[in-house]
Structure 1
Amino acid sequence: MESKERIIDTQEIPEIWSWGAGTDGQLGTCKLQDEYIPQSLPIRHSLTHLSCGGAHVIALTHGKKVLTWGRGSSGQLGHGNLLNSLEPKLVNGLDGLNITHVSAGWSHSGFVSECGQLFTCGDGSFGQLGLGDYGSQSSPEKVSHFALRHVEQVACGMRHSLALLKGEHGDQVYGFGSGKRGQLGISNEKVKSVSLPQNVSGLQEVNVSSISANGDHSAVLSADGPLYTWGRGFGGAPDACCPNRVNSSLTFTQAALGWNHALILTDEGEVLMLGSHYGTNSNPQAEKLATYELNEAQIVKFHGLDGIKVVGVASGSEHSVLSTENGMVMTWGWGEHGQLGLGDTSDHTCPQSVSIAKNNAHKYITTKVYCGSGFTYVVRTWRLED
């Protein structure tokens, strides 16, 4: 580990676990192999956020520094080269910028600074870096289109990106990159690609709390609870070129997008699923509970989670992960690379509990879950007892 940054609050200790696809070093284990059960990582930084992409990981530290590791063949690690990294390394090109938000796409990355600047690197062949061309970058480059604006968040999908801007004229979302499935939301018609950010239509009156992108999907969560999605249709529904509000009276607090599905968390701690995992079909227990529709795509909930309060959700390309209020982690979906953490490569249609070693002498505060394409991360924080 190159960084000498220390944990600020020595009473709160991060505990990081990873499993699943690991042949590009994305698990941070210093091994080039898949792992079928959770692996403990020796990362002792106080992390505020992780973002997992196709085969790389971006970590944001408490000190607003950035670490990246995994596949770097398109320059997505931001280290100035096209090399993979088996362990976390500081992105020196962002030193001194105080990064507050990060996002990992399939093979590109985005970083937002404290003063509202957006930087991108990696594959730019679809314009997803927002730099006005279709070239790739191995070091973070400032997106000059937003030079006089304040970017709050960035979300990187497979070949497109979203940026959330905050200002005196309200919230605005911009899209750039591939738009072949309508995922840019910038026109009533599908567009091949754009290399400069363009304003997403239909969100002018929405107070945006978060943006999401994965695969060919895009989503916005409103501060007062509604969810808007656009791009590739879920569960056989038609593609949408403009944001559509999910028709529900429920209040949503989190959304996680996969390639063919999305998880939505309600303020009551209930998980709903839109679409399904490819090849595993829908949870047979959930089909009877379809209660809402969005352009013919059903939203369902799960019998197996009755009485369990969920506090976090994450979606990989074809698998799902959740964490509960008591720190339990559950997974389901595609398992070919061991990304479910159950000790095998089987698929599962129902949520299964993952066994992660726990020290009963510690008081665990939070358990957060993150997904890459075919791998999973869990960050648990525990407090030293006085």
Structure 2
Amino acid sequence: MEEDDRREKEKVKEKAETQRIWSWGAGTDGQLGTGSLQDHTLPQLLRLPSLPSPISSLACGGAHVIALTSGGKVLTWGRGSSGQLGHGDVVSYVLNPKPVTSLDNYFITHGSAGWSHSAFVSDNGRLFTCGDGSFGQLGHGDYTSHCSPFRVSSFVDHFVSQVACGMRHSLVLLKGSSVNQVYGFGSGKRGQLGISRDKIKSICVPEVIRELEDKEIVEIAASGDHSAAISVDGHLHMWGRGFKGVADSHYPQRLISSLRFAKATLGWNHALALTGEGEGFMVGGNHLGVLTDPQSLNSAKQSTVNMKEANLEKIPGLDGVKIVDVVAGAEHSALVTEKREIKTWGWGEHGQLGLGDTCDQTSPLTLSLGCELNEAESIRVFCGSGFTFALTMPYDPSLH
């Protein structure tokens, strides 16, 4: 038995040592984890300190990063001026991944990074938040900022499964609850809380989104002043600030479409959605991120429509290509194909597209990581505000 345990520990250690992580784009707050404060226009292979277990997921915010390990530990780095790193202090930046030791007694399974706040969910359904609380986005019943993660007391008697942080608001999804399952708190100026048809400046105590009570929600998303949720039947619901030519919505509205969506991801001016069949679509966009000819935007009618009637545009140039993941940064986008190719487009001023320049791109282009993936590896991508990460994961045939 001891021999089996030893072998298992060796396998975990080997995976952690062989995992590869790249970053590129804006780095002036240390968010790239390169040990410097420089932007990079090409993917940089990181030389991270030896980790006890491999990184299983990342969350990228305004200028900070949350890393979760397969062993339930949390590391953060980047901008820390609002306490969003959770290290117990306020600092301009942290250059290298640093453990959030106050969460060591918990097994953290989910994390989310907003513009300057962070949230963490443990395997037993507890929610912790830290960082900027000036809009109530931490959910602690006040507008105070915290530099260490504190448990959100409103959910003491509930099991939290997911959290999503926008620019100044947060969403929470409860597990195993047929009603009262999605909550919002923080800034509500553009309707992103979804709790009332009237304008709400901000709230500091989580309130239920009643428009979703009769829907079985399986995924939530937030970014900028936008919010979204996907129901078990694949319907996409969106609310908050309206995209290109679309009015703000102060309550969730189902996007009119016969498609069944498996994932939604939000930027500041656009949303990406992925179907179960591997097709990618976009809502909104501007001259930096729109997928068609930028001139067509100028000639398009700017009549304001309802959010549920927002136009879905298929990501071009990918006919016959199966997409396995889509990710929206603040003003850029990325996707991963079945063949493990990474394609990026949108705003490129900081090099966040990873193409070796600072040009904007209106259609997806394939980037190079500078090396080949082996057969045992798959790749995941994570986008923040002006920066991007990619990391290798053990290959899972079910996802391809």
TM-score of the aligned structures, taking structure 2 as reference length: 0.89
Q: 1:280 to 1:321 in 2, by over 3 A?
A: closer
Cα separation, 1, equivalents of 2:144 and 2:196: 24
* Pairing 1:343–2:356 present: yes
Give the secondary-structure state (helix, strand or coil) at the position aligned to 1:312. Answer: strand
Higher strand proportion: 1
* Pairing 1:69–2:77 present: yes
* Pairing 1:367–2:367 present: no
Q: Say whether the 8 Å CA contact 1:201–1:243 is kept in structure 2.
A: no
Give the match for residue 169 of structure 2: 160
Per-residue deviation at 1:281? Answer: 4.2
Give the secondary-structure state (helix, strand or coil) at the position aligned to 1:145. Answer: helix
Give the match for residue 190 of structure 1: 199
Give the match for residue 8 of structure 1: 12
**Letter of the 1:306 counterpart:** D
**Letter of the 1:347 counterpart:** D
Cα separation, 1, equivalents of 2:156 and 2:108: 16
Deviations 1:11-63 (A, max 9, x none): 58421111000010000000101000000112354122110000000011000
Give the match for residue 5 of structure 2: none
Give the counterpart of 2:26 among 17, 21, 28: 21
**Does 109-118 or 333-342 show the bigger shift?**
109-118
Cα separation, 2, equivalents of 1:295 and 1:248: 9
Give the secondary-structure state (helix, strand or coil) at the position aligned to 2:365. Answer: strand
**Letter of the 1:52 counterpart:** C
* Pairing 1:174–2:183 present: yes
Cα separation, 2, equivalents of 1:293 and 1:327: 36
**Does 35-44 or 206-215 show the bigger shift?**
35-44
* Pairing 1:81–2:81 present: no
Deviations 1:179-213 (A, max 9, x none): 00000000011200000000012111212111100
Cα separation, 2, equivalents of 1:200 and 1:278: 33
Q: Say whether the 8 Å CA contact 1:286–1:302 is kept in structure 2.
A: no
Q: Say whether the 8 Å CA contact 2:212–2:252 is kept in structure 1.
A: yes
Deviations 1:38-90 (A, max 9, x none): 00112354122110000000011000010100000000000011121101011
Q: 1:58 to 1:177 in 2, by over 3 A?
A: same
**Does 37-46 or 312-321 show the bigger shift?**
37-46
Cα separation, 1, equivalents of 2:191 and 2:139: 17
Cα separation, 2, equivalents of 1:107 and 1:380: 27
Cα separation, 2, equivalents of 1:320 and 1:106: 17
Residue identity over aligned pairs, in percent, reads 56
Give the match for residue 329 of structure 1: 342
Q: How many residues align?
A: 376
Give the match for residue 381 of structure 1: 393
Cα separation, 2, equivalents of 1:373 and 1:180: 21
Within-5 A mapping of 1:104-119: 104-119=113-128
Q: 1:207 to 1:32 in 2, by over 3 A?
A: same
**Letter of the 1:31 counterpart:** S
Per-residue deviation at 1:326? Answer: 1.0
Unmatched runs of 5 consecutive residues or more in structure 2 = 1-8, 396-400
Cα separation, 2, equivalents of 1:198 and 1:72: 28
Give the match for residue 242 of structure 1: 251
Per-residue deviation at 1:353? Answer: 0.5
Give the secondary-structure state (helix, strand or coil) at the position aligned to 2:154. Answer: helix
Give the counterpart of 2:108 among 96, 99, 102: 99
Higher helix proportion: 2
Cα separation, 1, equivalents of 2:155 and 2:280: 36
Q: Say whether the 8 Å CA contact 1:15–1:41 is kept in structure 2.
A: yes
Q: 1:168 to 1:268 in 2, by over 3 A?
A: closer
Give the secondary-structure state (helix, strand or coil) at the position aligned to 2:391. Answer: strand
Cα separation, 2, equivalents of 1:59 and 1:6: 22
**Letter of the 2:360 counterpart:** D
Q: Say whether the 8 Å CA contact 1:237–1:295 is kept in structure 2.
A: no
Give the counterpart of 2:42 among 34, 37, 40: 37
* Pairing 1:150–2:163 present: no
Q: Say whether the 8 Å CA contact 1:131–1:143 is kept in structure 2.
A: yes
Cα separation, 1, equivalents of 2:162 and 2:82: 22
Give the secondary-structure state (helix, strand or coil) at the position aligned to 2:138. Answer: coil
Per-residue deviation at 1:224? Answer: 2.1
Q: Say whether the 8 Å CA contact 2:120–2:129 is kept in structure 1.
A: yes
Give the secondary-structure state (helix, strand or coil) at the position aligned to 1:8. Answer: helix
Per-residue deviation at 1:167? Answer: 3.2
* Pairing 1:353–2:361 present: no
Within-5 A mapping of 1:176-255: 176-255=185-264
Deviations 1:260-304 (A, max 9, x none): 10000111111100001454544229979x9x9944531101331
Per-residue deviation at 1:358? Answer: 2.4
Per-residue deviation at 1:114? Answer: 1.3
Give the match for residue 266 of structure 1: 275
Cα separation, 1, equivalents of 2:186 and 2:336: 32
Q: 1:7 to 1:222 in 2, by over 3 A?
A: farther
Unmatched runs of 5 consecutive residues or more in structure 1 = none
Give the secondary-structure state (helix, strand or coil) at the position aligned to 1:10. Answer: helix
Q: Say whether the 8 Å CA contact 1:52–1:103 is kept in structure 2.
A: yes
Give the secondary-structure state (helix, strand or coil) at the position aligned to 1:50. Answer: strand
Q: Say whether the 8 Å CA contact 2:283–2:312 is kept in structure 1.
A: yes
